[in-house]
Amino acid sequence: MNNAWRKSMQLKFDYNNMMKAFIGEEGFTEAEIKSNTDLAKSAFETVAANRGKGMMGWTELPYNQKETVEDIIATAKEIKKRFDNFVVLGIGGSALGPTAVFQALCHLRHNELPRSKRKFPKLYVEDNVDPERMAALLDVIDLEKTVFNVITKSGATSETMSQYLIITDMLKARFGDKAKEHMITTTSESRGNLIKLAQKEGLKTFYIPDGVGGRFSELSPVGLLPAAVVGIDIKAMLSGAAYMDKICMRKDLKKNPALLSALLQYLAMKKGKNISVMMPYADSLKYIADWYCQLWAESLGKAADKKGNPAFTGQTPVKALGVTDQHSQVQLYREGPFDKVITIIGVEKFRNEVEISRGCEEFPDVNFLCGHTMGELINTERVATEYALATAGRLNHTILLPEVNAFTVGELLYMFEMETAFCGEMLGIDTYNQPGVEGGKNATYALFGRKGYEQTLKEMQSAPAKQEKYTVTD
């Protein structure tokens, strides 16, 4: 990768349709942006000063993993030789990132291809504890040809550890002492249950750095190992992230897409735009929206600010897919409440192209498509949606990828992470904690009788009993 190629692969951030000049009263003026430059500067300086510290260890992932990356690549080669299936057992960031990158950078029917065309193992990401899902997985894989990657930093994630217990039992029953050849763990090096189990069982293990939380972990071994196993160039991903990092460290607001986007989202929230829609116009990027939903919601949805004052911040992230959701959700986005910001992701050049065949000459409302390509159609519909939203006064902006490849996906992931970090500082909240998640976890522990949660169980038992009159049964 030379500098000219990197420059040609740089993402473009088009925020015309966030401005009053293009969408009217709902938009922002240059004066509004200028009046908030001090806020943006403060957020920038705080993020810059805390790089690599505390829970901002993720900022160093593009640079500090040389030995780990080589180990991952070597491990992936061995897996390719011996196994036909690679199964991720994880939830949240341990699953959403690997899924998003797999969808983005592999053949869209990867698991359905014959091995001669696929060349790499199939990938399954099991991110739920639905018993039917586990049973279905076991119906389609051969344990002899499968390796499992258990991902949990704490080793106490109930969903992942339940999967670990089930699979470990099956592997030991089938392979005895050789069961360890079918399992790899990705966890904390210094604490937690899983590292202790991995050491006891002699499992191959990759480490999640202490300063990297789940939703910021895709560029760590959490995401890099599954990606390498299915043939993705993880060095190019990290290179793309590093390239975007340098862009995001520009002090000039107008030349820093993550900082500018964060400020626009912050200003939108202040105007009551409490929903953030992510709408990629490419099937390959469909699950980027799922990954983004966790990143944005879990990072910014906070009841209190850093000082402990009530805040109730954040936007509700919504995933959509262009053009599919033009036929389901865009009606609401264009004519419903003025409470949304729509982020559109476009691709300038698709990796494949399909020409629309000639025919239907007697039907002008069909024949006009003939001779064009599907790539032209999807991008024309994207531009048309941008226009339709703008003419209805709806805030929207577009991120354009020159093409979808490992480098540009690395850029995109890192840009969203930096945008989230900047926006969290503007909101004055702790971007990296998730106290709201703990309520449901603790209640689950209490209901299962886990030691230490007796008080929670008492509180649940003393809550008002549900009343039959509020339940419809027939």
Residue numbers annotated as active site: 298, 327, 441
C-alpha–C-alpha distance, residues 56 and 391, integer Å: 40
Closest CA to 256 of 32, 15, 58, 1: 15
Buried/exposed 458-470: b ≥16 CB within 10 Å, e otherwise? eeeeeeeeeeeee
Give the dihedral sign, CA 229/230/236/238. Answer: negative
CB distance 170 to 143 below 8 Å: yes
Strands 340-347, 316-319: pairing kind: unpaired
> Token pair of 432, please?
């990296």
285 Cα distance to chain centroid = 10
Q: H helices of 202-249, where?
A: 221-229, 234-248
30 Cα distance to chain centroid = 31
Q: What are phi and psi of 226, to 5 degrees?
A: -55, -40
DSSP summary character for residue 396: E
Determine how many CB atoms are found less than 10 A away from the CB of residue 232: 23
Closest CA to 415 of 32, 62, 17: 62
Give the dihedral sign, CA 399/402/404/408. Answer: negative
Q: Quick one: 211 exposed, middle or buried, by C-beta within 10 A (0-12, 13-18, 19+)?
A: middle
Q: What are phi and psi of 276, to 5 degrees?
A: -115, 110
Cα of first residue to Cα of last residue in the chain, in angstroms, is: 65
> Token pair of 225, please?
């190992």
